[in-house]
């Protein structure tokens, strides 16, 4: 089953009687509330998803900025979005699928069988000449039942040990990985041994995911192999989900570190590496 869907294929699917739920997950660091943009224009029938409130839980700084929601919290939200067991769920945002991938990871982790990302995000839909609608969509509540965490993930201890036996990818921008600056979290740098692989390298100029063969070549050049584990983290676990999807498309089996740098940097006992080489200087 494909993890991506094109605007043409989505339009065709929506024109049938197939059970489809479309989710709009507009969120970015500088504008976390995407509801105003959603209200101004969204794919017809799409339900707005609040990433901060529905795709993350509240916790202590030592848990990271976006801890994973509980199964109960996610299930309540998913039913509010109108999802039933057996539905096809299509997710999009307006930022090259970086935020949408968080919802993809969570729903896939919770056992929803058919979860797809709209390849090319909202601009792909608009570029295809298809309409948007204004206002809010309030669906009939769904009845989906969710499983409890079926995808592999890393604790902070797992992330610390992974570079010794596999590859840990840091998908933040290069300057944050090097520790040149850190605008959000308390310490600058990266997990010792982590390799920089900015999330932006997963997509082309139109925001579409690179072909699986190109993604596989990219990750292979970064040291990822089939016989060693690969983990991925970012600032707070959001864009790391995007690279987890890209790794999956490339045929690998990624492990997400949900706490990511926001958790690691809030633990003073954890070493910090600086510079452009894995490990750097403490």
Q: What is the CATH number of the domain that holds 237?
A: 3.40.250.10
Domain count, the chain: 2
How many of the other CB atoms lie within 10 Å of CB of 157? Answer: 8
Strand partners, 92: 24
Place of tokens 């090319």: 120
How many of the other CB atoms lie within 10 Å of CB of 186? Answer: 12
Same domain flag for 172 and 244: yes
pLDDT tens per residue across span 254-270: 999 999 999 999 999 99
273: DSSP letter: B
Rounded to whole angstroms, what are the CA distances from 82 to 60, 135, 144? 31, 17, 8
- Does some domain include residue 269? no
- Does some domain include residue 37? yes
pLDDT of residue 278: 67
Task: Give the whole-angstrom CA distance, residue 93 versus residue 91.
Answer: 7
- Does some domain include residue 44? yes
Host domain of residue 253:
156-264
The domain boundary, picked from 83, 111, 127, lies at 127
pLDDT of residue 31: 85
Structure tokens at 57: 């839980």
Same domain flag for 193 and 112: no
234 is catalytic: yes
- Does some domain include residue 220? yes
Total-model pTM: 0.94
pLDDT of residue 282: 35
Answer for the pair 235, 185: CB distance below 8 angstroms, yes or no: yes
Which residues, other chains included, contact 30 with Cβ-Cβ below 8 Å and sequence gap of 6+?
none
- Does some domain include residue 135? no
Same domain flag for 10 and 122: yes
Structure tokens at 253: 């089996």
pLDDT tens per residue across span 229-260: 999 999 999 999 999 999 999 999 999 999 99
Structure tokens at 165: 């036996």
> Which residue of the set 74, 117, 197, 234 is catalytic?
234
Residues (pLDDT < 50) of the chain are 280-282
């Amino acid at each position: 089953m494909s993890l991506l869907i094109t605007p043409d294929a989505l339009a065709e699917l929506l024109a049938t009687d197939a059970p489809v739920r479309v989710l709009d997950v507009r969120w970015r660091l500088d504008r976390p509330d995407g509801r105003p943009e959603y209200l101004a224009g969204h794919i017809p029938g799409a339900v707005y998803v609040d990433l901060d409130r529905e795709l993350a839980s509240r916790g202590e700084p030592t848990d990271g900025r976006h801890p994973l929601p509980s199964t109960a919290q996610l299930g309540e939200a998913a039913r509010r979005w109108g999802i039933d067991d057996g539905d096809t769920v299509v997710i999009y945002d307006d930022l090259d699928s970086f935020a949408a991938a968080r919802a993809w990871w969570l729903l896939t982790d919770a056992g929803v069988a058919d979860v797809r990302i709209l390849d090319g995000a909202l601009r792909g839909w608009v570029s295809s000449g298809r309409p948007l609608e204004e206002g809010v969509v309030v669906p009939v509540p769904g009845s989906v039942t969710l499983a409890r965490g079926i995808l592999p993930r890393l604790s902070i201890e797992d992330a610390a040990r992974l570079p010794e036996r596999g590859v840990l990818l840091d998908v933040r921008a290069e300057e944050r990985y090097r520790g040149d600056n850190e605008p959000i979290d308390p310490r600058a740098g990266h997990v010792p041994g982590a390799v920089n692989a900015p999330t932006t390298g997963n997509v082309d100029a139109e925001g579409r995911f690179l072909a699986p063969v190109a993604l596989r070549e990219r990750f292979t050049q970064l040291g990822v192999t089939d016989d060693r584990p690969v983990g991925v983290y970012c600032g707070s676990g959001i864009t790391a989900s995007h690279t987890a999807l890209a790794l999956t498309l490339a045929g690998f089996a990624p492990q997400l570190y949900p706490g990511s740098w926001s958790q690691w940097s809030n633990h003073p006992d954890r070493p910090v590496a600086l510079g452009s080489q894995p490990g750097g200087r403490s």
